């Protein structure tokens, strides 16, 4: 073997040469994989968002990246089932959906030694929209449940004077949270025979605006921000149905913030951010931002109910 000459002292040059490989090694995990370099306010992260909340999260992401210029949040807007699959396969670190994980889904993560955190960020609602020429804009809760179950399939069953014919129920996507919400509400495994699906909430609104006998099922997020040009444009094309509370026909509520908060509007739900990130990375940082004061103010501004009421400090002299 070749002998190696050693000394007790290293010159400054040798010290710097020794430090370079040490630094490089310190950035590498024991298995040879590069350690993640993101922090709560910098780096890159993939998130998946239920398409129902694309307008909301376009704004959340824009604001977050404006505040933290070294952060890049890459979002994909997908149907609920696709979003959860992306989270499970590690295609994304964070998912935004309107429910918590099921027991079976938690078991799938636990099999990978992962324990996702679920953070409630908002209260939302399902909105029902009809054509501008449909005169029936107030429907009793019991009537709506029969429509959604496929028991009342003609507008004449809602209003004997109606000439609109058969009811066509339209959803944004067969795998969406809206579709899943209605099937769970009906306690059925599938939608009624007169239900159809397109590919997005805007497509539902467009279809309803052109078909007098249609009733669309969308997330209220698409029509709740009265200051947004997109929301105002949608509201010009359709009418929003008011619903009574169960057993209280005669007084009707539209999915406005106040009635979502008081639960007078009957079709409400919660919105969650689910993170599989187990360290203080950008995924956790983005969740903390949305659940924090700035993020919650955006939710309030866009017509949903923030999970935590934003605070306002007033100094009195």
Distance CA 131, CA 141 (A): 19
The structure tokens 């959906």 sit at 97
Query: Minimal CA–CA distance to 228: which of 2, 55, 32?
Result: 55
Section 151-161 average pLDDT:
88
Task: Please state the three-class secondary structure of 215-271 as a single string.
Answer: EEEEEHHHCCCCCCHHHHHHHHHEEECEECCCCCCCCCECCCHHHHHHCCCCCEEEE
3-state DSSP call for residue 15?
A: helix
Give the span between the Cα atoms of 62 and 257, in whole angstroms: 24
Tokens standing for residue 81: 């089932």
For residue range 286-299, what is the model confidence (pLDDT) as tens digits? 999 999 999 999 99
Q: Does 15 score more than 70 pLDDT?
A: no
Residue 199, pLDDT score: 87
CA distance 116 to 273: 10
Predicted local distance difference test score (pLDDT) of residue 70: 95
Q: Which tokens belong to 178?
A: 């809206």
21 vs 138, residue with greater confidence: 138
297, two tokens: 């103010």
Residues 64, 286 contacting (CB under 8 angstroms): yes
Q: Is 114 exposed, middle or buried (0-12, 13-18, 19+ CB in 10 A)?
A: middle
Length of the chain: 317
Q: What is the mean pLDDT of the chain?
A: 84
Show Cβ contacts of residue 309 under 8 Å, excluding neighbours closer than 6 positions.
296
43-123+270-306 adopts what CATH topology?
D-Maltodextrin-Binding Protein; domain 2 (3.40.190)
Q: Does domain 124-268 have CATH number 3.90.1150.10?
A: no
Q: Which of 199-203, 233-237, 295-299 has the largest mean confidence?
A: 295-299
Q: What is the pLDDT of residue 287?
A: 96
- 11: pLDDT strictly greater than 90: no
Residue extents of the structural domains in the chain: 43-123+270-306, 124-268
Q: Does 124-268 match 43-123+270-306 at the fold level?
A: yes
Across residues 94-102, what is the average pLDDT?
94
Closest CA relative to residue 183, chosen from 223, 126, 143: 126
271 HSE (CA, 13 A, CB side): 30
- What distance in Å separates the CA atoms of residue 235 and residue 259, rounded to the nearest whole number? 19
Q: Please say whether the beta carbons of 123 and 228 come within 8 A.
A: no
Q: How many CB atoms lie within 10 A of CB 26?
A: 8
Calculate mean pLDDT across residues 106-115: 92
pTM of the shown model: 0.81
Query: What pLDDT is recorded for position 312?
Result: 53
Highest mean pLDDT among 58-72, 192-206, 211-225, 237-251: 58-72
What tens digit of pLDDT does each residue of 245-259 get?
988 778 999 999 999
């Amino acid at each position: 073997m070749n002998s190696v000459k050693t000394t007790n002292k290293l010159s400054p040059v040798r010290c710097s040469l020794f430090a370079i490989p040490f630094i490089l090694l310190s950035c590498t995990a024991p298995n040879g994989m590069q350690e993640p370099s993101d922090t709560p306010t910098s780096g890159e992260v993939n998130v998946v968002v239920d398409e129902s909340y694309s307008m909301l999260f376009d704004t959340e992401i824009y604001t977050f990246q404006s505040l933290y210029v070294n952060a890049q949040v890459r979002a994909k807007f997908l149907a609920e089932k696709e979003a959860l699959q992306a989270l499970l396969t590690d295609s994304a670190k964070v998912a935004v959906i309107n429910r918590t994980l099921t027991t079976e889904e938690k078991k799938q993560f636990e099999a990978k030694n992962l324990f996702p955190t679920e953070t409630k960020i908002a209260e939302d609602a399902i909105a029902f929209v009809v054509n501008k020429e449909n005169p029936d804009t107030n429907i009793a809760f019991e009537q709506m449940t029969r429509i959604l179950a496929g028991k009342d399939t003609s507008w004449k069953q809602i209003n004997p004077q109606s000439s609109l014919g058969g009811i066509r129920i339209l959803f944004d996507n067969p795998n969406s949270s809206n579709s899943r919400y209605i099937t769970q509400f009906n306690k059925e495994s599938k939608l009624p025979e007169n239900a159809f699906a397109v590919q997005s909430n805007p497509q539902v609104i467009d279809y309803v605006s052109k078909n007098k006998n249609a009733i669309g099922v969308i997330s209220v997020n698409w029509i709740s921000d009265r200051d947004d040009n997109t929301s105002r444009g949608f509201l010009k094309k359709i009418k929003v149905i008011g619903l009574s509370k169960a057993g209280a026909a005669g007084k009707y509520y539209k999915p406005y913030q106040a009635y979502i908060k008081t639960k007078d509007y009957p079709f409400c739900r919660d919105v969650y951010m689910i993170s599989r990130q187990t360290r203080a990375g950008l995924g956790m940082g983005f969740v903390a931002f949305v659940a924090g004061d700035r993020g919650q103010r955006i939710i309030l501004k866009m017509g949903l109910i923030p999970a935590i009421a934003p605070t306002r400090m007033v100094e009195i002299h």
